[in-house]
């Protein structure tokens, strides 16, 4: 699931921040997305992209706070779409 999460991040966040996340992914899995350097504009882009690709509910979007939470949601929708 890490690969999918990174794929989504790469499209939506600034390059330097993406590279740092890619390098420290395991260590940063439970940290808040803002603690990884994602700012509110990047966060918004991420939400819009995820909303478009998976048609998430508002509750799903609200729960997107960490890399792990993105994995959980992607897994949920992956299973649903399987």
Partner 1 sequence: MVSEMLSVNLASFPKEVQKLILELYKQKYCNEEIRLEDEQLHLNDGIHQLISREVSALQAIWSKNKDLYFKEKCIDCDPEKLDNLVGKYGLERIKNSVNQLMLRYKNIGNQISTLNVLDEFNRGLSNILLEIFQVDKTMQPIDILDEYSSEKLRLDSNQGALLSGKINKTFYNYALCHHCYSKVKSHTIQMVTGNCYRNEKDYDRFRLPKFKMTELVFFDSDNQLAVLKEKIMALFKIMGDSIGLKYRIRIANDSFITNDVERILYQVLNKSKIELEVYTPIEDKYISICSSNYHGSYFSQKFSITREDKSYIQSMCVGFGLNRIIEILKDAGEL
User: Which listed range, 1-9, 55-63, 74-82, lies at the site for partner 1 (CB under 8 A)?
Assistant: 55-63
> Minimum distance from CB of 45 to partner 1 (Å)?
9
Asked if 37 contacts 54 with a C-beta cutoff of 8 angstroms, the reply is: no
Contact call for residue 5 and partner 1 (CB under 8 A): no
- x/- mask, partner 1, residues 11-40, rule CB under 8 A, reads ---------x---x--xx--xx-xxxxxxx
- Name the region of 31 (left: φ>0; alpha: ψ -120 to 50; beta: rest): beta
């Amino acid at each position: 699931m890490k690969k999918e999460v990174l794929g989504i991040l790469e499209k939506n966040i600034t390059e330097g921040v993406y590279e740092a996340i890619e390098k420290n992914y395991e260590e940063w899995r439970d940290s808040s997305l803002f603690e990884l350097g994602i700012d509110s504009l990047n966060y918004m882009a991420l939400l819009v992209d995820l909303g478009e690709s998976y048609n998430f509910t508002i509750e799903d979007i609200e729960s997107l706070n960490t890399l792990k939470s993105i994995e959980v949601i992607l897994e949920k929708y992956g299973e649903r779409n399987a």
